[in-house]
Amino acid sequence: MTEPARSCHICARTITAGYDLLGGPICNPCYSRLRREAFPCPSCGVPKVLAFHDKEQNVVCAACAGVPSRFACRSCGSEEQLTGAQCGTCRLKDRASKVLAREDGTLHPDLVSLFEHLLSAPDARNVTRWLRRDGISTALGQMALGIAPISHATLDLLGPSPRIRYLRCLLISAKTLPEIDIYVNDLDLFAQRLLESLSTEHAHVLRRHYRWHILRSLSQRYPNTHASASVVDSRRHQLTAIRDLLAWVEGQGQSLSTVTQGDLDYYFAQIANTGNALMTFLTWARTNRHVTDVEVQRRAGTNARPAVSEGERWQHIDRLLDDDKLPVTTRIVGLFVLLFAQSLATCAQMKHSDVTITDESVAVRFATDPVTMPRALGDLLRTYVNDPVVRTIYRTEGTEWLFSGLMPTTHITSSRLGELLLAVGISPRTAKDAAMRHLATALPARVVADAFGVAESTAARWSQLSGGTWNDYPQLREQN
């Protein structure tokens, strides 16, 4: 016999079957939403699903209402992060124990640290879902069973996908694998695939250029830290442009050693407009006698960018200071750009150690000299440092990065910061230019260089372009 339709007393949706909670029938979506999150019970203070009434009609947990619990985890009795008949932690323990187990059912000793690391997640349900993704359980299972070694080489065989990169970062964060530069490692895998598509002669040339120029320049530029994702991505584009040129030369029945100036001029005019990307390679190839005496003229860049007026700049600053509905990362980074002419790459790589907080002030080190923050921005930084944004699926206590990335052990990317600012109508480059113009007008070039990380010659040039004195720089407006 079909049950009569009833209306959910929470959302008023007409239902044919449901649950009776909180004094009336509720539909399945409302029931699922109710059990999804546990909150401290106002009566006993224990985090529980609050779906019952006590004698005074207060919303409390089942125990305080004097009724049997219908939400308790069948394994531990918890009502937090419920998923099916279990809490999130117990479900994750069961799933991870199976994935990381040896043939006898015990955890692989070299994966115990990973197991414990996974259990530190703020929401275990996210980790459980992640473990089910294609490739993740298989890779970890093969390591646990001894089919594949617990090493970076095993992950290399799976290819440089974002999913495998995340797994690699997680294993590094859990101390299961040694730390490496993950983006450069992905660049290595990418370069290997490109080399396979070329003839032996051209593969040899590209391999030498990659090893002795690209990798060398990266190691010199980042001697004590890892290369950023955007920098490595630009090197990937360079490699692709070089591969495309070499493949075209092969298609013409030639080699790099026989290509002429006319061939290159035709390629850049008719095939691909990548002269600037190939300039460094062709210069290197000519120096190392891989190519005849040819030249590629670097195309002049267009520096014309729409300027941000003083009024527009302060409108953006006021909004970032006052609008607490904006993401806190957007607000802080936007103010760093608009007030102190910081690049997105610098902001992305800032560390907690760059921020000094005392009872009296907040100072940020952008370059050599720390800069004391105006009160409003200092208060915003105090709040953020005490409760940072967590973008990963697990806890990040102890991370050195001020703005953490989605992947374990990494910082946020400059491209992501750019997306955040563009979403609120701020163009990072024009905003930085406007701030640089005002800083150079207001302060001596040496001060700008030491405090904000700008070359002294650059600060001097901006000062000349601005044509102002350094006594009139406006202070950050204090909030009322």
Distance CA(290)–CA(308), nearest Å, equals: 47
Average pLDDT value for residue range 317-335? 91
pLDDT tens, position by position, 12-35:
777 765 678 887 888 888 888 888
Task: Lowest mean pLDDT of 4-8, 35-39, 166-170, 383-387, name the range.
Answer: 4-8
Core vs surface per residue 351-361: b (16+ CB within 10 A) or e: eeeebebeeee
Residue 347, pLDDT > 50, answer yes
> From CA 119, how far away is CA 353, in angstroms rounded?
28
Residue 294 included in any domain: no
Residue 147 maps to a domain: yes
pLDDT band (50, 70, 90) for residue 165: confident
Read off the pLDDT band of 470 (50, 70, 90): very low
Which residues are paired to 20 by β-bridges? 25
**Residue 475 maps to a domain:** no
Boundary residue ending a domain (287, 321, 342): 287
- Single-letter amino acid, residue 70: R
- CA pair distance 403, 290, nearest whole angstrom: 44
- Residue 111 pLDDT: 94
Residue 223 domain flag: yes
Distances (CA, A) of 47 to 32, 38, 77: 17, 5, 11
pLDDT of residue 374: 87
The answer, yes or no, to whether residue 112 has pLDDT greater than 90, is yes
Of residues 93 and 438, more confidence is placed in 93
Residues 134 and 62 in one domain: no
DSSP annotation of 463 reads H
Mean pLDDT over 126-143 rounds to 88
Do 15 and 144 lie in one domain? The reply is no
pLDDT for 205 beyond 50: yes
Helix (H/G/I), strand (E/B), else coil: 290: coil
Q: Which residue has the higher pLDDT, 441 or 27?
A: 27
Q: Is 295 within a domain?
A: no
Region 445-469: mean pLDDT is: 56
pLDDT-based confidence at 160, cuts 50/70/90? confident
Tell me the pairing of strands 355-357 and 362-364: antiparallel
Question: Is residue 266 pLDDT above 90, yes or no?
Answer: no
Domain boundary among 124, 148, 177: 177
State the pLDDT at residue 176. Answer: 93
Count Cα neighbours of 89 within 13 Å in the Cβ-side half-sphere: 14
**449 within 8 A of 438, measured Cβ to Cβ:** no
Residue that finishes a domain, picked among 138, 153, 177: 177
What average pLDDT does range 119-131 have in this prediction? 86
Residues 6 or more apart in contact with residue 131 via CB below 8 angstroms: 92, 95, 96, 99, 118, 137, 140
CATH of the domain at 403: 1.10.443.10
Alpha carbon distance 119, 115 (integer Å): 6
Q: Residue 147 above 90 pLDDT?
A: yes
Q: Are residues 390 and 435 in the same domain?
A: yes
What does the pLDDT average to over 238-265?
90
CA atoms within 13 A on the CB side of 255: 12
In sequence order, what are the residues at sequence separation of 6 or more whose Cβ sits closer than 8 angstroms to the Cβ of residue 446? 456, 459
Instruction: Return the pLDDT at 433.
Output: 84
| 412-431 confidence digits (pLDDT tens) | 888 889 999 999 999 888 88
pLDDT: is 87 or 277 the higher one?
87
| Cβ count near 233 (within 10 Å) | 16
Average predicted confidence (pLDDT) for the chain: 83
- Do residues 314 and 456 share a domain? yes
Q: Is the dihedral of CA 138, 144, 145, 148 positive or negative?
A: positive
Residue 293 in domain? no
Which has the higher per-residue pLDDT, 442 or 287?
287
Question: What would the pLDDT profile of 355-382 be if each residue is shown by its tens digit?
Answer: 999 988 899 988 777 888 889 899 999 9
Residues 365 and 222 placed together within one structural domain of the fold: no
Structure tokens at 25: 């029938």
Task: Please indicate, yes or no, whether residues 458 and 318 belong to a single structural domain of this protein.
Answer: yes
133 assigned to some structural domain? yes
* Separation CA 460–CA 465 (nearest Å): 9
In a domain, 297, yes or no: no
pLDDT tier, 407 (very low <50, low <70, confident <90, very high otherwise): confident
- Does 34 share its domain with 134? no
- Please say if the pLDDT value at position 398 is more than 60: no
Has residue 464 got a pLDDT over 70? no
Of residues 394 and 331, the one with the higher pLDDT is 331
CB of 24 within 8 A of CB of 34?
no
Spatial neighbors of 172 by CB under 8 A, at least 6 apart, are: 178, 179, 180, 182, 408, 409
In this prediction, residue 195 carries a pLDDT of 92
User: Do 222 and 283 have their domain in common?
Assistant: yes
Contact criterion met (CB below 8 Å) for 247 and 241: no
Residue 474: per-residue pLDDT: 42
**Which residues, 6 or more positions from 470, have their beta carbon under 8 angstroms from its beta carbon?**
441, 442, 443, 444, 447, 463
User: Is residue 317 located within the same domain as residue 430?
Assistant: yes
Q: In this predicted model, what pLDDT tens digit does every residue of 52-74 receive, in sequence order?
A: 888 888 999 999 999 888 889 99
Q: Are 91 and 85 in contact, with CB atoms under 8 Å apart? A: no
The answer on 345 and 261 residing in a single domain is no
Most confident of 98-102, 232-236, 277-281: 98-102
Give the per-residue pLDDT at 478. 45
Question: Are 213 and 354 in the same domain?
Answer: no
- Give the Cα separation of 144 and 112 in Å (integer): 10
C-alpha R_g of the chain: 29
Highest mean pLDDT: which of 23-27, 165-169, 206-210, 223-227? 206-210
Number of domains in the chain: 4
Task: Let me know whether 434 and 323 are in one domain.
Answer: yes
Q: How far is CA 80 from the centre of its chain?
A: 28
* CA–CA distance, 403 with 34 (Å, rounded to integer): 33
Model confidence at 477: pLDDT above 50: no
Structural domain of residue 282, as residue ranges? 183-287
